Amino acid sequence: MAYWIRVNYERNEYIVDLDRLSAFASAPNGKITFWLPSSSFPIIINQQSNPDGYQQVLDYIQQVLAHSLSGSWIQVNYERNDYAIDLNRIGSFCYSASGRLTFWLPDSSIPIIINEQKDPDTYQKILDFINRKTGHLLP
């Protein structure tokens, strides 16, 4: 089911289906970034400049993180941002000899690198997802 919102950004109005987005980044300063589908164009909103759109996006993020039926939405803290990511939309994962897991956010060129020592819970959730989704076990 589509979850359409209207967002004002840089003097333009966008109508965006949040169900088509694969990731959101929340910065410590309260800004939320998401990337338009099939594009690398970021939309950055905050509570002061767009209170309605901001609240709708925040509510949506909380909803998908709490009620993801397949458990594919995860929350990751990476480089001082909190990311909400739908792992179902990730097209590749890289496991390095040092044990790091890397994947790239769709519709963006941002790599997310997870290390077992720094974030063991998220690391294990991603390994479990990879095994469940692909049938491949990573060490």
DSSP 8-class letter at 99: S
Q: Name the phi and psi angles at 62, rounded to 5.
A: -60, -40
pLDDT at 44: 95
CA–CA separation, 132 and 30 (whole Å): 34
Give residue-wise pLDDT tens across range 63-107.
Answer: 999 887 667 899 999 999 999 999 999 999 999 999 999 999 988
Q: What is the mean pLDDT of residues 113-126?
A: 94
pLDDT at 139: 77
CB 34 within 8 A of CB 21: yes
Domains of the chain: 4-67 (2.40.50), 88-134 (no CATH)
The sign of the dihedral angle between the CA atoms of 119, 122, 126, 131 is positive
Nearest to 14, CA basis, from 47, 37, 30:
37
Does 15 have pLDDT greater than 80?
A: yes
Give residue-wise pLDDT tens across range 20-71.
Answer: 999 999 999 999 999 998 888 999 999 998 899 999 999 999 999 988 766 7
pLDDT at 127: 94
